[in-house]
Amino acid sequence: MIKYRLKCKKCQKTFDSWFSSSKEYEKLKIKKFLNCHFCNSKNIMKTVMAPNVLSQKKQNRNKIKKDIVKQKILEFQKFIAKNFENVGDDFVYKARSLHYDNKKNKKGIYGNASKKQIKELQEEGIETHIFPWVENKNN
């Protein structure tokens, strides 16, 4: 994938657009499939762009930030595993069972569900949250 900053020759506004390759950009331009997001003009051109090169110092800072975020996620995962019941792929069934059961003093659950299933649960008024789950490769 390649990102180009494009400029409309008519309204002079710039915008970014992604292409699978530079050849793909050229093909779309020749076929007049590119248009301005603001005025719909097809008179579009690429602007000069500098490559995004990270210095070693910046790469190290990014790695440290990434490691801190991963550590926080792992801490939260540990909390979830300790305080909630892992129901795995039965999450949707168990969530509905808990929601429609009159007994409210039940332990919370976590498990697996598709985005579609989560949306259906939320439409039924069942509160759910999506949380990133990462492997702890240190254990």
Q: How confident is the model at residue 137 (pLDDT cuts 50, 70, 90)?
A: confident
Of residues 107 and 87, the one with the higher pLDDT is 87
- Structure pTM? 0.52
Give me the domain span that covers residue 6.
2-46
Query: What are 54's two structure tokens?
Result: 């990270």
The mean per-residue pLDDT over the stretch 17-39 comes to: 90
Tokens representing residue 92 in the block:
């949707």
User: Using the 8-state DSSP alphabet, how is residue 42 labeled?
Assistant: S
**Which pLDDT score, from 0 to 100, does residue 139 have?**
53
Is 92 within a domain? yes
Give me the residues paired with residue 6 across strands.
15, 46
**CB-CB neighbours of 91 under 10 Å:** 20
Q: Tell me, what's the pLDDT at 95? A: 92
Label residue 79 by pLDDT band (50, 70, 90): very high
Indicate whether 113 belongs to any domain: yes
Mean pLDDT score, 24-41: 91
Q: How many domains does the chain have?
A: 2
